[in-house]
Chains A and B, each alone.
Chain A
Amino acid sequence: MREVSTELVTRTVRDLCLEANYRLPPDVERALAEARTRETSPAGRDILDVICENARIARDEEVPLCQDTGFTVVWAAVGREVHFDGDFKAAVDEGVRQGYREGYLRKSIVEDPFRRKNTGDNTPAAIHFMLVEGDRVDLLIEPKGGGCENMSRIAMLKPADGVEGAREFILRTIDEAGPNPCPPTIVGVGVGGTFELAALLAKHATVRPVGEYHPDPFYAELERNCLEEINQLGIGPQGLGGRTTALWLAIETHPCHIASLPVAVNVQCHSARWKRAVI
């Protein structure tokens, strides 16, 4: 057993909240710069320039990239040999509380979906807990904006719909989203599992580094084709026309029921923020 202090968890989460909100991951920044060289729409090029300049300002001045500093999604892979000296969930929420207060980040969470009173500290976080081998705690913070989250969809397709059905659903989701999720986006796709697992896979796919294909060549090919087709839709940066509608598309899969083919699409905006640390 390895004893891990919840104070360390809090401090780590606090720091990750600041880092994630101030600095765009290098793979995303690189993808935006590369898209700028390929984009043929003048408005699209201007917008990509503005987005890259914004990332420089945020990094240099240590201010949030986007005013929507998101729902704090926490991917926590905890080794089975770890023992915490206190309440893990409370420690994560305390880290979010400190990070959002001290980092001048926006508090965007309401305590009830209908009565909508702001909790005032951006808690609670959305914690996805995974038990893994070893004695480490792997924490990944993904501040997820509301605009792109609102454009995400799930479909319970029939097995007979197959790859074609899934592709059509993905394309239609991005087409209908149009300018709303702040393109160029990163598209996370979850296929298989159950209703809730597909959505979780889609969200997890949004933190796969840009440029990293699925290890299975069948899915890597599908990722390549879907991304290419999305970029033929003409939506472009901010939806004002162009060839850069998505920077990347990642698919995650899971075994599923003989009757089902769940497909979930989670859209991530160009401010595709996440930051990871291992304790």
Chain B
Amino acid sequence: MGSNPIKLTTPLSEEDVRALRIGDSVKLSGVIYTARDAAHSRLVELLEAGRELPFPVEGAALYYVGPCPAKPPRVIGSAGPTTSYRMDPYTPPLLAAGLRAMIGKGKRGPAVRESMQEHGAVYFAAVGGAAALIARCVKELEIIAYEDLGTEAVRRLVVEDFPLIVANDAHGGDAYLENRKPYQSLVLD
């Protein structure tokens, strides 16, 4: 998507992330981890108890997804993003622990956006509903935690050129607010 996408590979540095601006097209490669509602609740419980997370969080990218089962011989089933705001209550502690990027769809709350600025993190939008297409970017998959959660288990994925758009940057920018303005002719009070 978009012209001249920026190619990035995980783990991401604070410098990588601070260079991004809302609306930038990115192709992300490397290891990313999946987690959605139920896994987030457990991850934050671990942080609160002062225990280790099941993956190295420093510089990590989390993908909010609950994939379909893989139809052989595929690595993964359809795997598009889920709506991110549900992860908002759990996000600031993960950012404080070193989480550098999140991939999902839809708006984030003010507490998440502030915490992203403070710690230097980026929120990418993937195209919601483009799940069959996104699955093609996934080259490897391994369940690393919470297998009992089924589709909500934490998976380690290796992705290649995952197409993303910067929705919230580390400077307080919000593409959902800004990029809408040129096309908005009706404003509700």
Q: Is the CB of B176 within 8 A of A54?
A: no
Q: Is the CB of B183 within 8 A of A66?
A: no
Q: Report A120 CB to chain B, min CB distance, Å.
A: 7
Distance, CA A64 to CA B69, complexed state (A): 10
Decide if B1 is an interface residue (CB 8 Å cutoff).
Answer: yes
Q: Is the CB of B1 within 8 A of A50?
A: yes
Decide if B89 is an interface residue (CB 8 Å cutoff).
Answer: no
Q: Report B141 CB to chain A, min CB distance, Å.
A: 13
Given contacts A46-B2, A68-B82, A107-B151, contact A57 B132 (CB under 8 A): yes
Chain A residues near B133 (CB, 8 Å)? 50, 53-54, 57
List residues of A (190-245) whose CB comes within 8 Å of B's CBs: 229, 232-236, 238-243
List residues of B (121-136) whose CB comes within 8 Å of A's CBs: 125, 127-133, 135-136
Q: Report B155 CB to chain A, min CB distance, Å.
A: 12
Q: Report B58 CB to chain A, min CB distance, Å.
A: 28
Distance, CA A86 to CA B76, complexed state (A): 38
Q: Is the CB of A106 within 8 A of B151?
A: yes
Q: Which residue of A lies closest to B38 (CB)?
A: A116
Cross-chain contact of A104 among B71, B165, B186 (Cβ < 8 A): B71
Distance, CA A235 to CA B176, complexed state (A): 8
Given contacts A69-B68, A106-B67, A120-B150, contact A54 B132 (CB under 8 A): yes
Q: Which residue of B lies closest to A241 (CB)?
A: B179
Distance, CA A40 to CA B128, complexed state (A): 20
Q: Report A45 CB to chain B, min CB distance, Å.
A: 10
Distance, CA A182 to CA B128, complexed state (A): 6
Q: Is the CB of B69 within 8 A of A238?
A: no
Decide if A51 is an interface residue (CB 8 Å cutoff).
Answer: yes
Q: How many residue-residue contacts, CB under 8 A, span A and B?
A: 174
Cross-chain contact of A240 among B74, B125, B185 (Cβ < 8 A): B125
Q: Is the CB of A241 within 8 A of B132?
A: no
Given contacts A104-B71, A234-B183, A241-B182, contact A66 B131 (CB under 8 A): yes
Tell me the dominant secondary structure on chain A's binding face.
loop
Q: Which residue of A lies closest to B82 (CB)?
A: A147
Q: Is the CB of A65 within 8 A of B82?
A: no
Tell me the dominant secondary structure on chain B's binding face.
loop
Given contacts A51-B130, A269-B128, contact A67 B180 (CB under 8 A): no
Q: Report A126 CB to chain B, min CB distance, Å.
A: 19
Decide if A5 is an interface residue (CB 8 Å cutoff).
Answer: no
Distance, CA A260 to CA B163, complexed state (A): 48
Given contacts A120-B150, A150-B83, A240-B165, contact A67 B68 (CB under 8 A): yes
Chain B residues near A44 (CB, 8 Å)? 183
Q: Report A108 CB to chain B, min CB distance, Å.
A: 7
Chain B residues near A229 (CB, 8 Å)? 186
Q: Which residue of A lies closest to B83 (CB)?
A: A147
Q: Which residue of B lies closest to A63 (CB)?
A: B132
Q: Is the CB of B184 within 8 A of A232?
A: yes
Given contacts A180-B85, A232-B185, A234-B182, contact A240 B2 (CB under 8 A): no
Q: Report B108 CB to chain A, min CB distance, Å.
A: 10
Q: Is the CB of B176 within 8 A of A240?
A: yes
Given contacts A104-B68, A240-B175, contact A235 B180 (CB under 8 A): yes
Closest 6 CB pairs of A and B: A234-B184, A241-B179, A232-B186, A234-B183, A180-B106, A182-B128
26 A-B pairs within 8 Å (CB atoms) are namely: A40-B183, A50-B127, A53-B130, A54-B133, A57-B136, A58-B78, A63-B74, A66-B131, A67-B67, A67-B79, A67-B131, A68-B80, A106-B66, A108-B66, A118-B149, A150-B83, A172-B188, A179-B106, A232-B185, A233-B184, A234-B182, A238-B125, A238-B128, A241-B180, A243-B183, A269-B128
Query: Which residues in A have some Cβ–Cβ distance to B below 8 Å?
Result: 40-44, 46-47, 50-51, 53-54, 57-58, 61-69, 104-108, 116, 118, 120, 146-147, 150, 168, 171-172, 175, 178-180, 182, 229, 232-236, 238-243, 269-271
